[in-house]
Amino acid sequence: MSLTYQDRIKEKRDLSKKIIDIAKEFVPFVFVMINSGKDALTRFGENEITQNVSQEITGAEILLVKDKKVSKVSLDDLSKENIKMVIEKAATLLEFQEDQEHIPDFPIDEIIENENLNWDKETASVSPEKRSEVVKGFVKKCKENKLLASGTVSDVVNSITLASSKGLFAYHEYTRGEFTATAMDDDGYSGWGSISEKSYDINKINELQENIVKKAILSKDPVEIEPKEYTVILEPAAVSDLFLFLSYVGLSTQGYYLGTSPFSNRLGEKILSEKLTITDDFSHEQNPGFPFDFEGVRKKSLEIVNKGILNRLPFDLKWAEKKGKSSTGHGFPFPNTMGPLCGNLVIAPGESSMEEIISSSKDALLITHFHYTNIINPNDITITGMTRDGVYKIKDGKITNSVKNMRFTESVIKALNNIEAISSDQVFQSAFFGGGFVLPALKINNFRFSSKTDY
Amino acid sequence: MYKVCDFIIDLCEKGKASYADARIVEMNYESLTVKKGELSGIENSISKGVGIRVIVNGAWGFASTNDLSEKSLRKNVELAISIGKASSHLIKQKVRLTEDKVYQDTWSSPYILDPFNVTWEDKVGLLMDCDRILSQDKKIVDSKAYMSFSKEVQWFVSSEGARIKQQILRSGGGMSAIASNGNEFQRRTYPASFGQYYQGGYEVIQGFKLLENAENTRKEAIALLDAPQCPSGKKDLILHGEQLALQIHESIGHATELDRVLGLEANFAGRSFVTLEKKGKFKYGSKLMNIVADPTCPMGLGTYGYDDDGVRAERFHVIKDGVFENYLGNREFAHTVNETHSRACNRAQGWMHIPIVRMPNLSLMPGEGTLEEIIADTKDGLIVDTVKSWSIDQYRYNFQFGMEAGWVIKDGSISHMVKNPTYQGITPEFWGSMDRVAGFSEWKLNGVPNCGKGQPMQVAEMSHGCSPARFKKVEIGIMR
């Protein structure tokens, strides 16, 4: 019989207490993070299931603090004997360590969400057969259109627990039902789509599957065009690559104060298009964000950019102390060499639907998503990557044909200053560290492509 | 541990699995980082669990857990079998494994000094000293020195009778300095962008001579601030070390992984332009191009006695005299290229993941001459150093790389340093333009400790050996 919500919390409370009680024999302060979950994933390619796995793990990261010395251990054998052995060894090592300049002043708090906020009972117990049925449905649609199906169906069940010897206890659990797939013709031209939500919504998945097949059909017989600057309409999956690097490089608080962010010393200044308002909001209905950060601080929703103006930055305990501020709940697990980051960005929607943006475009390219995007120059956040799974030419408000893939090389700052339109629809796109971004589509002028390919 | 594996195999056979293997992996990991004069903490992790792989009704099932209690093992065997049954409803043909020889053996990577026994004073002291030298200038806004070690022990038992125990010890580290003049910043790292790693003990760290190279790392980071931008246009490009290794990794290694070629990565990492009909005849590059897969190469990160199918590691040519010869494959896919034995390239990350096709060490064989001679022979060129950025398309065809630093070569000698160097190319054209490869005296292994592939994502390690090589008329300075 599966455990109730209260049972699951009690189970983690008991485990964290067990660890803390053992550790307190050796050190005065203990901070524990328990990650527990199951990731089941069915992978398919060439119209058949090619891999089918279930992975479960419960592991703990334990910070031992004595005076100004800190030692961290991770383990996944959580028997009492093993915990004691590992902690004893780590505590011995404390003697050899140099003093830390900064030790976080971890909060005392109890953070427990309402039941089922991010958890779906059915998704927590999906059978491999159900995932197979989802795959079968997509393969059938692809076969009917002489296309090859590939992708994954997965269900994730996870919880994170933070506890300390001073009295912190924070618990968050979530489920995700995810489907991502490509439909490809014999020449390798394709359509793609993905969905990640708290639970499987078969109707939405079916709708997405239909759209992927339509895009693949539309991708046939692409025309080669020359790489240069084009007006582009980036679907949300393509937009997410821009915002990943914006968040990691540009909106990094550590980078801001060390001088490695291009926005250093520019708080209050216009840095991006006035059409852009960006918040970091874990509580947005489409975001699966945690209500607390990895230091146990309650997360705040922050308006990072207001109409293009850099409004404020995220803080963790270390940078808050350094700058005389309060933590905004954007800390990562100790030791953290990246500083605080925004992991739940939400880009405010515009007023036009995607259809209206397309129909009002005289000459543009519609981009499905990018492949293998990476940063070339952090000074202006220049990134490069390839278009993938559908690039379509728009002429006089209509999609006329597909075009061959191209490589873009463009500054994120320049691109986000050249926004012409923002769609009214937003979708969630997974990003990093269990977070993700809620993003609209963007129409951007003068977006630079630097080379082409045969595919 | 063999007893636990035997218990699992017995359960799998009772559950009607036609094949089963159990892999218990115990991993000890330790890392130390000093950042801006502060010890960011010592991290230790210990992980132990089992991956259970079965073939049921001709299809794979896999379940893994770190709970090794009898109850959990029974549950996970049942789960693996039910997953195999579910998979069997949508397969074109049953899994066909090669009939490779079955081994009972042990294998260990050699080392001299166990890093887990080196004192903390020695390790932390070295990093502190490096960081102190790195940060000895106001223009250095960030600095870091680090090292890490992992000891992995694996027990593999299969229903065919394989019983293999392997132990791998990996050591590595590095340092970085970031300089800023208020308007821009530049980063320099040593000995490689994400550190250098080898199979071996603490002697690996000692061999890097971190302390002796800290000052130069700092100075070059600062010098880059005032260096001119990399010019744009076509020039002869000299690659060496880590950057040439990455070029091999991205445009040859992943391109010749058989699962990609067969379309199994199509939705995620992509496919490959090296399609099946190209085997044995496709001109991948110039005649100087000899690429060898070698999981037996000493000190390589992708060195092992047996892969995770239990097949003994072997050395073979992937490309010979510029012509594509062999894919990187495993027991499952060998038949698709009419091979009767596996190339032993099936590997998993830890106990948690299912084995997938992974490149082992993959190297460019040495040619003749020295880097000095190649530079002297170059009229209008660019030599670049240290990975900064990499991107390659879903067919491993169009790529673009950025490096930390470059030096312009004019009339046979190095003229000046340039910043933000980049180059772009098309894989077979680029390798076809390689007209010089230096000799064995400058050949060395370069570790890739962070290669991601698969869903759920797995990280694997491998090395790429190479000596400096020259490529004619390459498009450089892309970002300008």
pLDDT at res. A433: 53
Token pair recorded at residue A402:
């597909």
Does B31 touch chain A if contact means CB atoms closer than 8 Å?
A: no
Chain B residues closer than 8 Å to A49 by CB: 59, 86-87, 89-91
B305: left (phi over 0), alpha (psi -120 to 50) or beta: alpha
Measured between beta carbons, which residues in chain A are less than 8 angstroms from residue B182?
Answer: 259
| CB-defined contacts A:B, below 8 A | 268
Per the CB < 8 A criterion, the answer to whether B85 and B56 are in contact is: yes
Model pLDDT for residues B421-446, shown as the tens digit of each residue? 999 999 999 999 999 999 999 999 99
How far does B39 lie from chain A, in Å, by closest CA?
6
Sequence letter at residue A52:
N
Cα separation of B173 and B198, whole Å? 10
Domains and CATH numbers, chain B: 2-226 (3.30.2290.10), 233-476 (no CATH)
Nearest to B397 among A148, A182, A453 (CB): A453
**pLDDT score, position A434:** 57
Chain B hits for A76, Cβ within 8 Å: 46-49, 66
**B281 CB neighbour count, 10 Å cutoff:** 9
Taking the CB of residue B257, how many other CB atoms lie within 10 A of it?
26
**Does A128 contact B82 at a Cβ distance shorter than 8 Å?**
yes
Is the CB of B353 less than 8 angstroms away from the CB of A405?
A: no
Locate the chain B residue with the closest alpha carbon to A44: B264
* Residue of chain A whose alpha carbon sits nearest to that of B452: A372
CB B253 within 8 A of CB B274: no
Contacting residues of B for A180, CB less than 8 Å apart: 267
| Residue B268 contacts A, CB cutoff 8 Å | yes
Please list, in sequence order, all residues whose beta carbon lies within 8 angstroms of the beta carbon of residue B24, skipping any fewer than 6 positions away: B1, B4, B5, B48, B49, B50, B68, B154, B155, B351
Nearest CA in chain B to A97: B120
Question: What is the least distance, in Å, from the CA of A72 to any CA of chain B?
Answer: 5
CB B226 within 8 A of CB B405: no
Whether residues B40 and A337 touch (CB distance < 8 A) is answered with: yes
Q: Do A184 and B266 touch (CB under 8 A)?
A: yes
Q: Are B157 and B22 in contact (CB under 8 A)?
A: yes
The Cα–Cα gap between A180 and A197 comes to: 12
Distance CA A35, CA A17 (A): 15
How far does chain B reach from its first CA to its final CA, in angstroms?
58
Site from B28, B42, B397 to mutate, A interface, most A CB atoms within 10 angstroms: B42
Q: What angle do CA A74, A79, A83 make, to 5 degrees?
A: 45
Question: Looking at residue A226, what is its pLDDT?
Answer: 96
Name the residue with tokens 């492509």: A449
Helix A80-94 and helix A5-23, axial crossing angle in degrees, nearest 10: 50
B354/A53 CB distance under 8 A:
yes
ipTM of the complex: 0.92
Q: What is the CATH number of domain A5-207?
A: 3.30.2290.10
Among all residues of chain A, which has the CA nearest to that of B332? A50
| Whether A52 and B61 lie within 8 Å, measured CB to CB | yes
- Inform me whether the C-beta atom of residue A77 falls under 8 Å from chain B C-beta atoms: yes
**What is the C-alpha to C-alpha distance for residues A249 and A260, in angstroms, rounded to an integer?**
8
Q: Do A182 and B266 touch (CB under 8 A)?
A: yes
For testing contact with chain B, the best of A31, A39, A41, A51 (most B CBs within 10 A): A51
Each domain of chain A, given as residue ranges in start order, spans 5-207, 221-455
Please provide the DSSP assignment of B127-164 as one string: HHHHHHHHT-STTEEEEEEEEEEEEEEEEEEETTS-EE
Chain A within 8 Å of B440 (Cβ-Cβ)? Answer: no
B66 neighbourhood in chain A, CB within 8 Å: 56-59, 76-77
How close, in Å, is residue B74 to chain A by CA atoms?
14
Asked if A424 has any chain B CB less than 8 Å from its own CB, the reply is: no
Cα–Cα distance for residue pair B169/A310, rounded to 1 Å = 47
Q: Are strands B59-65 and B38-56 parallel, antiparallel or unpaired?
A: antiparallel
Position of tokens 């809620």? A438
Q: A375: distance to nearest CA of chain B, Å?
A: 6
DSSP, collapsed to helix, strand or coil, labels residue A48 as strand
- B267 contact residues in A (CB cutoff 8 A): 45, 150-152, 180-182, 192
Geometric angle at alpha carbon A227, from A224 and A230, rounded to 5°? 105
Could you give the CA distance from residue B323 to residue B286 in angstroms, rounded to a whole number?
A: 8
Write the single-letter amino acid at B331: R
Q: Do B38 and A100 touch (CB under 8 A)?
A: yes
Q: Where are the beta strands (DSSP E) in A328-405?
A: 345-347, 363-377, 382-395, 398-402
CA distances from B208 to A150, B188, B299, B303 (A): 44, 16, 14, 20
CB distance B39 to A98 below 8 Å:
yes
Q: Do B262 and A46 touch (CB under 8 A)?
A: yes
**Cα gap B164→B161, rounded to integer Å:** 10
Maximum pairwise Cα distance, chain A? 74
- DSSP bridge pairs for A42: A52, A153
B428 has a chain A CB within 8 A of its CB: no
Q: B370 to chain A nearest CA, in Å?
A: 30
In which order are the strands placed within the sheet that holds A436-439?
Answer: A309-310, A302-306, A278-280, A345-347, A436-439, A427-430
Among A55, A86, A142, the residue to mutate for chain B (most B Cβ within 10 A):
A55
Stretch 240-299 of chain A: residues touching chain B, C-beta under 8 Å: 258-260
| List of chain B residues with pLDDT < 50 | none
On whether the CB atoms of residues B467 and B358 are closer than 8 A, the answer is: no
Query: pLDDT tens, A201-227?
Result: 999 999 999 999 999 999 999 999 999
On whether any CB of chain A is under 8 Å from the CB of B267, the answer is yes
Are B200 and B109 in contact by the 8 Å Cβ rule? The answer is yes
What pLDDT is attached to residue A396? 98
The verdict on a CB contact (< 8 Å) between B266 and A372 is no
Q: Which of A40-44, A176-180, B119-123 has the lowest mean pLDDT?
A: B119-123
The chain-wide mean pLDDT, for chain A, equals: 94
Q: Which of residues 213-242 of B touch A (CB under 8 A)?
A: none
Q: Does B388 touch chain A if contact means CB atoms closer than 8 Å?
A: yes
pLDDT at residue A334, as a whole number: 81
Using DSSP bridges, classify how beta strands A148-164 and A169-184 pair: parallel, antiparallel or unpaired. Answer: antiparallel
A89 at B interface, C-beta within 8 A: yes
pTM beyond 0.90: the answer is: yes
Q: Is A125 on the interface with B (CB under 8 A)?
A: no
What gap in Å lies between CA B349 and CA B27, rounded to an integer?
A: 11
Q: How far is CA A231 from the centre of its chain?
A: 27
> Which residues from chain B sit within 8 angstroms of residue A41, using beta carbons?
455-456
- Asked if B184 reaches chain A (Cβ–Cβ under 8 Å), the answer is yes
Whether the CB of A455 is below 8 Å from some CB of chain B: the reply is yes
| The residue type at A339 | G
Q: Residue A384: which of B60, B79, B400 has the nearest Cβ?
A: B400
Lowest mean pLDDT among A249-258, A333-342, B153-162, B449-458: A333-342
Beta bridge partners of A78: none
Burial B174-211 (b: 16+ CB within 10 A, else e): bbbbbbbeeebbbbbbbbbbbbbbbbbbbebbeebebe
Q: Do B60 and A136 touch (CB under 8 A)?
A: no
Angle between helices B70-88 and B2-14 (to 10 degrees): 40
Structure tokens at B325: 């010869």
The single residue listed with the structure tokens 């000899």 is B290
Q: How far apart are the first and last CA of chain A?
A: 52
CA distances, A125 to each of A35, A119, A157 (Å) = 18, 11, 9
**Cβ separation of B64 and A56 shorter than 8 Å?**
yes
Answer yes or no: are the C-beta atoms of A421 and A350 closer than 8 Å: yes
Is B162:B102 a contact under the CB 8 Å cutoff? yes
